[in-house]
Amino acid sequence: MGSRAIERHTGIGERGPHAPQYDRSVELDLASIRQRLEDEQRRLRDEIEADVEEAPEPMTYGSQAASATQVFDQNRALALRERAARELAQVDAALARLDAGTYGLCRACGKPIDPERLDALPWAEFDLECQRLQRR
């Protein structure tokens, strides 16, 4: 006996002058989210840097088939790097929002993003509804 009333763990949501007033029914585990974002940030940086090292081989006479493959590979590497760079920008932005205390809020409408969505996509900028509108 002698146990006190269970303290309500309010967690995040009161940080900063512009703290959102939305009631978060589900709390986000910001520490583990930050960890995942930082891991992802490292992975993407490695990926981007690894691709830069691949210098194209000099063109040799009569190697048109080979060079076509080479161009294809270069285009693919470029596309992968662009995608990695885009993702890295999103991860960076998500970490910035973590620091600012606005993480998990839709950038378009300001509503909290579904925690399940954040779990699947920790750098999500928009809730599902606004994401759909962005794609149009």
* Residues at the contact surface with Zn ion, assessed by CB under 5 A: 106, 108-109, 127, 130
Looking at the Cβ atoms of 3 and 21, the one nearer to Zn ion is: 21
Looking at the Cβ atoms of 101 and 112, the one nearer to Zn ion is: 112
Q: How far is the CB of 90 from Zn ion (least distance, A)?
A: 16
Separation between Cα atoms, residue 11 and residue 29, nearest integer Å? 9
Q: How far is the CB of 33 from Zn ion (least distance, A)?
A: 19
Looking at the Cβ atoms of 40 and 127, the one nearer to Zn ion is: 127
Looking at the Cβ atoms of 84 and 106, the one nearer to Zn ion is: 106
Q: How far is the CB of 100 from Zn ion (least distance, A)?
A: 17
Alpha-carbon torsion angle 11, 12, 13, 15, nearest 10: 120
Residue type, 57: E
Report DSSP state, residue 39.
H
Residues 31, 17, 108, 27, CA torsion sign: positive
Strand ranges (E), 8-125: none
Q: How far is the CB of 24 from Zn ion (least distance, A)?
A: 15
